[in-house]
Structure 1
């Protein structure tokens, strides 16, 4: 298994992921699963520019990720799989891609229908249901950076 990180973070590629997680885990490549980015070459270029060319990025749809998951997970090096939202990660879980893995919830910020559960995690009841579904396949917890305290799923329920 070459994937070292499965993360839900609406910012996708940014400092915490690249410096905090990337450096700590020695990541060599990123797979970003996002329906809109998967079909937009110019947006992919913008997002990939954050990597500075030193690390590879691939932008895929859910269907393509599921189809190629074994190949992606068997790549040489260490990878991260990122989604913008819990629903996308749930789709991957429902197709067996997350069995026995750990899913990290990172930056999900304030928005319509969301409630603050941590400084860096705001969830709607539907998003929490997505996380519970993911937890049927994998361990789900929140942590903004690798050195922070891990917060269990049961402590993420919006109230």
Structure 2
């Protein structure tokens, strides 16, 4: 199964690059302070197609020897994979949604059609590294009239990473 990067974000201080891998289910963080020596500083799995409950067998992967556990937050299994990213203005929290586009969501994550998408919060370490904030979960499936598939989030009046209509 190929990787499918759906969002890329650079922190405002130019220290970290983040990529979301919607298909595999991980977010990766890289230290880019030295462009000649970019190095990985964090990886976190948030659902996706590769986990212990997906039924997908890893046959050949140079990085992953076994699948990560399926992700549950507040008792809810996270459906979909990490998609759009938004870093807080202070660079300490990375917000992520799990829906790409309805037709693709339906094909790759059919259970999300009933649960709706999710928004999660990742705490970012001062020197790199990422940790899931298990106290934060926004469920688009619980909104009246839903379930909804939340795709993107932005800070109104934020910075250049959050204002796509300049």
Is the pair's TM-score, using the shorter chain for normalization, greater than 0.5?
no
* Structure in which a larger fraction of residues adopt strand: 2
Which structure has more RCO (C-alpha within 8 Å, separation ≥ 6)?
1
